[in-house]
Structures are given as C-alpha cells and as structure tokens.
Amino acid sequence: MRELDDRNVQDGEIKAKICGFCEHPQSVRITRTATQDLGLIPLTKDGVLEIVKEHITLKRRVFTDRMDNGDTAYIIEECTVEEIKLYVKVKFFKKEDGVEAMLIISAHPPRRWW
C-alpha cells in the first residue's frame, strides 16, 4: 500500500479523477456488499461520494493498493460523516460500452480484526 502524494502529478490526477466521479454519481456503481454495509449506518451512495470528495478536497490521505485480482484500488481511510468514520475503497473500470466508471467496493466503519 502506498500513500498518494499531492506533489506527484500522476497522484494528483488520480485524486482529481476520483473527485470528478464523485460529482457525477450516475458514473459510479456500488457493490452489493457496500450497499448493505451502508444500510447499517444509514448512508447512501451519494452520501459516500460527498464525503470522499470532501476528504480529498481537504488534502487528507488517500492510498493505493493492488487487489488480489491485480486491479488497482484507492483506499480512503477515516472519511468522517456525522462523527462516523468510514473506510472506503474504490476502483476505476470500463463499462460494457467502453466508458470508464468508478466502483465503490467498500464503504463501512473501519473493521477491527482480533
């Protein structure tokens, strides 16, 4: 896992791209698992996108990681909404029509592993 660095042009472009998708929720899909997790809080996909954008705009930390299937994911830890911290994981993908979109893979309070 590596933290995106605002001084790195490519990392800045990735953060801007995530924010761009946050402004266009119709271009964002969400996994069933993330939807179920959000139902416990409760928070909607649009709500997650809003706090992710705010998190990035405030220059808070974003990490990149390689998933088990080889895809690159972006992890936004400790997004805060109404005193609730969220762990959010997103990735970019191509839809069936070839247009790029963003997928919210995870959106839940940080899990404690015992």
Please write the tens of the pLDDT for every residue from 16-63: 999 999 999 999 999 999 988 888 777 889 999 999 999 999 999 999
| Terminal C-alpha separation, the chain | 21
- The answer to whether residue 109 scores a pLDDT higher than 60 is yes
Q: Which two tokens stand for residue 79?
A: 């997004």
pLDDT of residue 78: 83
Structural domains present in the chain: 2-108 (3.30.2310.40)
Residue located via tokens 């609730």: 84
Nearest to 108 by CA among 91, 92, 84: 84
- Give the integer Cα–Cα distance in Å for 114 and 111: 10
pTM: predicted TM-score of the whole model, two decimal places: 0.90
Cβ atoms of 51 and 86 closer than 8 Å: yes
